[in-house]
Structure 1
Amino acid sequence: MASPTAAPALRAEHLTKHFGRTHAVEDLTLEVAAGEVFGFLGPNGAGKSTTIRVLLGLLRPTAGTAWVFDAPAADVERAHRYLAHVPADVALWPSFTGQECLDLLAGVGPGTDLVYRAELVERFGLDPGKRARAYSTGNRQKVALVAAFATRAPLLVLDEPTSGLDPLMEREFRRCIAEATGRGQTVFLSSHQLAEVEAVCTRVGILRAGRLVEVAGLAELRRLRRSEVAVELARPQPALDALAGLPGVADVRWTSPLELTLALTGPPGPVLRALGDADVVRLDVREPSLEEIFLDYYGQAAA
């Protein structure tokens, strides 16, 4: 099913959800472009699942508005023609077999590629003849993932989709994400598994205590954080003390007469030029991982 319009796949304006005195989502404004893989990050309790339920019209917002393509999220019947959703806690019909669950899900969605679905059943190692009540958490997750990836919905909304999967199945999941984006589908992936998000997403949003604190591409996020530079010299270079005065350089530390480290924000050109006349044996530049960036946000929150 093609995207219905050139509108963003998901859009929220000042979305807010309160449960009494609990502010689960607060003034969230977000736009996810059609065709992108967007990562929605935050620890348990940050408000990710509540945000998704409001975006999908499954909860009524306290304030604000959301759209799925050109459909208001509140118009659930219309909006859900454009999407497939894998919830954080998958519940199936216990007396149905896996195959019957897949057939039922295909009947209520925006269309399913049955040949591709059969292939996914094999790839995920799912036994479709078992009753759902006999499935483990991971196998229930597989049913939901197979149903979602086999659909031709222009938007896939995946909430903690690999929480019950082993590493081999996580690799298969990433392959399915690549295939979905190759078909032009949009993926909205909510997760606290940072390596997973880093592997598949083009942009991420970080949610903290119900508030969206950052939306950026992965490369842009890394540039916002300092890189660590380690230098090993063949002989002492006292002149390198001047590195501390260069733009973007902080925390210059000599760990020995021949080794120093520094934190660098921004382009490395000034540092490299300063090191040009030194007898450098080794130079390592380490970019922060998405996990370090993420923990930095929460470290600031705790400070």
Structure 2
Amino acid sequence: MEAIKVKDLTKKYGSSRGITDVNLSVEEGEIFGFIGPNGAGKSTTIKTLLNFIFPSSGHGEILGYDIVGQSSEIKKNVTYVPSDVRYYSESKVKDIIKYAESFFNNVDKKYVEEICNELEIEMDKKMGELSLGNKKKVAIVQALISKPKVIILDEPTNGLDPLVQQKLFKILLREREKGTTIFLSSHNLVEVENFCDRVAIIKDGKIVDIITLSEVRKNLGKRITIESKEINKEKVRLISREILKEDEKEIVFIYDKDINELIEFLFKFKVDRLLIEEIRLEDSFLDYYKSGEVK
């Protein structure tokens, strides 16, 4: 079943661009990434989905509910963590969490306590005393209190140190195992690569592609760097997918065939230096931002 379904969703700001004919389909229990350059339309899409702003045209559903006509039903089952979280500075953390719990029946307080401990929430601090990262941790706890069916996160690791980022995704992976759908907008291409099942790329307000990461990983290949005075560079061109650099000293290329065949080929020559690197999706996504296609 589709947790999120969007058809031709458009938001115009007068003569300024918002989003145009956005189409998305996110399955239940999926961690779905949403990436693109600054100003591409990520936050506008999320705010339109959550009915914070009205669409100019198009249609969207979350858990089968219409994003405009049934927004109140959506908000009973969906939680949202914005990229920039703000609180009254004099409010204490424990009071914020207690207040959030008051909106729901049968809150599992042991579960909430476990999440607070895991993220090392400082319950007696005032919100004004907290850093952006610590405020973000409170927002994440709030988002998990109701054990939602869908969690929408806009730049969730913004302000979090690497250790807390790791803890956050450990929590999110546990939630996914329970069947929770996670929609994740991010600038961090590494976290998208490591944790998402699929990713939509938005550019200039339009979805340019939706990628299944497991399929893309198979085709990335390896970056090979060879220093050798003996190697036959013409034959290297024949076995490589793409030559990245070539001079008298070294040759750098993309290789996507059986690595054992490469080793057998290199065995014929005296090699002074050999470097084999995995190509990360981050590199391909950056190319995509520039050219519009994953290499």
Give the TM-score of the pair, scaled to structure 2: 0.86
Question: Compared with structure 1, are the counterparts of its residues 56 and 290 closer, same or farther at alpha carbon in structure 2 (3 Å cutoff)?
Answer: same
From 244, 254, 277, give the equivalent of 2:237: 244
User: Which among 135, 139, 156 is matched to residue 140 of structure 1?
Assistant: 135
Is the 1:81–1:109 contact (alpha carbons within 8 Å) kept by the matching residues of 2? no
Looking at structure 1, the residues matched to 85 and 181 of structure 2 have their Cα atoms a distance apart, in angstroms, of: 21
- Partners of 2:251 and 2:131 lie apart in 1 by 52
2-side partners of 1:111 and 1:212: how far apart? 40
- Displacement, 1:273? 9.1
Given that 1:98 and 1:129 are in contact with CA atoms closer than 8 Å, whether structure 2 keeps it comes out as yes
Partner secondary structure for residue 9 of structure 1:
strand
Structure 2 counterpart of 1:34, from 28, 39, 48: 28
Matched residue, 1:61: 55
1:253/1:23 CA distance change after superposition, 3 Å: closer
> Shift of the alpha carbon at 1:136?
2.8
Q: What is the count of residue pairs matched by the alignment?
A: 290
How far apart, CA to CA, are the structure 1 residues paired with 2:188 and 2:211? 18
Distance in 1, matches of 2:26 and 2:247, equals: 45
Q: Which residue identity is paired with 1:28?
A: V
> Could you list the per-position Cα deviations for residues 262-288 of structure 1 after superposition, in whole angstroms to 9, with x for gaps in the alignment?
234x54579649827734757644333
Classify 1:65/1:271 alpha carbon distance in 2 versus 1 (closer, same or farther; 3 Å).
farther
Contact 1:231 1:280 survives alignment (8 Å): no
**Residue in 1 that maps onto 2:146:** 151
Distance (Å, rounded) in 2 between the aligned partners of 1:120 and 1:110: 18
Give me the whole-angstrom Cα distance separating, in 1, the residues matched to 2:270 and 2:179: 48
After superposition, where does 1:100-249 map in structure 2 within 5 Å?
100-108=95-103, 112-222=107-217, 227-231=222-226, 236-238=230-232, 241-245=234-238, 249=241
Query: Deviation at 1:251?
Result: 2.1
Contact 2:37 2:289 in 1 (8 A): no
Unaligned runs of 5+ in 2: none
Q: How far apart are 1:14 and its partner, in Å?
A: 0.9
Deviation at 1:19, TM superposition (A): 0.7
Instruction: Provide the rounded CA distance (Å) in 2 between the counterparts of 1:136 and 1:123.
Output: 18
User: Are the equivalent residues in 2 in contact too, given 1:243–1:271 (CA < 8 A)?
Assistant: no
Query: Given the superposition, is the C-alpha separation of residues 112 and 161 from structure 1 closer, same or farther in structure 2, using an over 3 Å criterion?
Result: farther
CA distance in 1, matches of 2:269, 2:91: 71
CA distance in structure 2 between the partners assigned to 1:32 and 1:190 by the alignment:
13
Task: Tell me if structure 2 keeps the 8 A contact 1:111–1:153.
Answer: no
Give the Cα separation in 1 of the matches to 2:3 and 2:183.
9
Are the counterparts in 2 of residues 68 and 82 from structure 1 also a CA contact under 8 Å?
A: no
SS of the residue 2:102 aligns to: helix
How far off its partner does 1:49 sit? 0.9
Three-state SS of the structure 2 residue aligned to 1:262 is strand
Amino acid at match of 2:149: P
CA contact (8 A) 1:84 1:109 kept: no
Kept in 2, the 8 Å contact 1:40–1:190? The answer is yes
Distance (Å, rounded) in 1 between the aligned partners of 2:270 and 2:77 = 57
Q: Which residue of the partner structure matches residue 290 of structure 1?
A: 281
2:79–2:152 CA contact under 8 A, matched in 1: yes
Cα distance, 1:151 vs structure 2 = 3.0
Cα-to-partner distance string for 1:223-252 (whole Å, 9 max, x where unaligned): 56564223456x7243x5134345x72327
CA RMSD after TM alignment: 2.8
The more displaced of 74-83 and 98-107 is 98-107
> How much does 1:220 deviate?
2.9
Per the TM alignment, residue 163 of structure 1 is displaced from its structure 2 partner at its CA by 0.9
Task: Tell whether the 8 Å contact from 1:82 to 1:110 is kept in structure 2 after alignment.
Answer: no
Tell me how far apart the structure 2 counterparts of residues 101 and 124 of structure 1 sit (CA, whole Å): 16
Q: Which residue of 2 aligns with 1:3?
A: none
Residue in structure 1 matching 2:253, options 251, 257, 262: 262
